[in-house]
Copies of this chain bind each other. A is one copy, B any other.
Amino acid sequence: MATNRKLRKISDSTIHRLSIYYRALLALEKEGYDTISSKELAKREKLTPAQVRKDLSFFGSFGTRGLGYPVKQLMQEIAEILGINRAWNVALIGVGNVGSALVSYKEFAKQGFVIRLIFDNDQRKIGSNHKGIIVSDVADMASLIPEHNISIAVITVPGSAAQKVCDGVIESGVRAILNFAPVNLRVPNDVFLRNENMAIELEHLSFSLRNQEPMIAE
């Protein structure tokens, strides 16, 4: 069981890697592995064995010396740590390109993130059906979000509208936001905010291409 005692301050990168381990374990289970060593797991994900062990050690002792980690069990531990061993109700605000892609995105549902509500402010979209969910008017967030016990809001509106929408969902009681708009949202510090900006990773690639290898020069 994921002992939370002695939990000090888990870095974002560790949390990020937990997600990676989880996916690796999913694959390993399918391939029929019963146990996996930190060495193997690290190799698969281009990390170091020490890193894998250290990351896991923050949460407990899940392995067996001389043997490795039990695949199935470790998966469950990580699911519990990440909070994906349960369902979370999600509201999506903004049914543009990105929004509608997310509605159909299977990875979300698979990990227990269930889109329960969809909002937009465009009268032509309100009332339309997306994968069985009727699009609601953003004006109704304040009543619908608490009613549907929403924990997470995913914001996929244009940058210019994002802060207002953000304020709205927080007002409605949401404390976790995933923001796809390319702006820096201001939130009170008891609200968790993560940003996803697909252009940024492309920019990283163009940086790499532009600077090819060197990078050391003098």
- Chain A residues close to B by CB (< 8 Å): 4-10, 12, 15-16, 18-20, 22-24, 27, 44-46, 81-84, 88, 90, 97-98, 100-102, 104-105, 107-108, 110-113, 151-152, 154, 175-178, 182-184, 190, 192, 194-211, 213-218
Contacts and interface: CB of A to CB of B under 8 A. Distances in A.
A93 to B, nearest CB: 15
- Copies of this chain, tallied across the complex: 2
A194 B218 CA distance: 27
B184 A216 contact: no
Among A113, A183, A205, which residue has the most Cβ atoms of chain B within 10 A?
Answer: A205
Given A7-B214, A102-B198, 9 more contacts: A9-B216, A16-B204, A107-B197, A107-B199, A108-B198, A108-B202, A154-B202, A176-B206, A192-B205
